[in-house]
Structure 1
Amino acid sequence: MVTLLLDSTQLEVVLSPVERALSFRRRNIAVPREQIVRVQRTDDAWTWLRGVPNPGTYLPVAVAMGTWKSAFGEDFVAIRRRHPSVVIDLDGHDEYARLVLTTRHGVALLRALQLDDVADEPEDVAVLAKPAKPRVKRPVVAPA
């Protein structure tokens, strides 16, 4: 899963070496915050694919990474299996019209993009998420 770094000016999609190879990209993707139009979570990112991989890697229901070209523009896709994902619509970006990314930190990204005061230094989106309190299981006592 990709790493997302967010600061006051941009969102950066950091790709691992394997993700770089599968997506045929040499650099990370930087998106200025003002170009982000909408962010939404999805449980099935495969339904958001449009067009054909060019260049990219596509193994149905396993992995989809790279640039997807369609009549609507180019999308960057980094999907692994059926994990929760985010769809980020962009306006005015040099390369892409949309990003479809598998990440377990979708809720944290949504919260972070709505913050008014964001740190100047990039932070991992996972750090911005507040950990949920663990659920305590209480023993069930049957009435006598």
Structure 2
Amino acid sequence: MAHLRVHTDRIEVHLTPAEKSLALRADDIVVQRDDIKSATITDDPWIWIRGIRVRGSAIPLVVAVGVWKYHGGSDFVIAKGKRPAVVIELAAGEFTRLIVSTNHAGALIDRLKLNSPPPAAPDGDAETEAD
């Protein structure tokens, strides 16, 4: 399960070793909070996947991990089964969108609200686990 850490200036998607293998990716994903345009909760992450898979692994409606390219850029996807997901639209960076399945979508959206600082965890950062 990927861990999403929400900091005051960035969010980090820490991939498990299995997810890194499936995505054919060696490092975690870091997105600056200033680059986030919007965040949406969806009950069906599969309808948000666009383009063609260029790097990663997929079994339709079961698991999709990796990079999907479309005419306007690339999306990073971690979709698992019928779990809800958060779709994060980005203004700049490596990806134009992150689609991450998580059972904690509401808490993640609350931590991402741009008008207020995220709630602090004991170490000063907030962490959410994607399932």
Q: What TM-score do the two structures reach when normalised by structure 2?
A: 0.89
Match of 2:107 in 1: 108
The alignment status of 1:31 with 2:37, answered yes or no, reads no
Identity, % of aligned positions: 37
* Higher Rg of the two aligned structures: 1
1:76–1:99 Cα contact (<8 Å) kept:
yes
Residue deviations 1:1-36 (CA, integer Å, cap 9, x gap): 321100111000110000000011111100000000
Provide runs of 4+ in structure 1 moved above 6 Å. Answer: none
1:69–1:75 Cα contact (<8 Å) kept:
yes
- How does 1:128-143 map onto structure 2 within 5 Å? none
- How does 1:1-144 map onto structure 2 within 5 Å? 1-93=1-93, 95-114=94-113, 116-118=116-118, 119=120, 121-125=124-128
Q: Distance in 2 between matches of 1:117 and 1:54?
A: 36
User: Tell me, what secondary structure is at the counterpart of 1:61?
Assistant: coil
The structure richer in strand per residue is 2
Residue deviations 1:33-88 (CA, integer Å, cap 9, x gap): 00000000000000001011111111111111100011121000000111010100
Residue deviations 1:75-124 (CA, integer Å, cap 9, x gap): 0000011101010000011x100000101111011111126234484321
Q: Distance in 2 between matches of 1:28 and 1:78?
A: 13
User: What stretches of structure 2 of length at least 5 have no aligned partner?
Assistant: none
User: Tell me, what secondary structure is at the counterpart of 1:79?
Assistant: strand
Q: Distance in 1 between matches of 2:54 and 2:125?
A: 30
What residue identity is the alignment partner of 1:123? Answer: A
User: Tell me, what secondary structure is at the counterpart of 1:111?
Assistant: helix
Q: Distance in 2 between matches of 1:48 and 1:83?
A: 13
Superposed CA RMSD: 1.5
User: Tell me, what secondary structure is at the counterpart of 1:39?
Assistant: strand
2:111–2:126 Cα contact (<8 Å) kept:
no
Match of 1:141 in 2: none
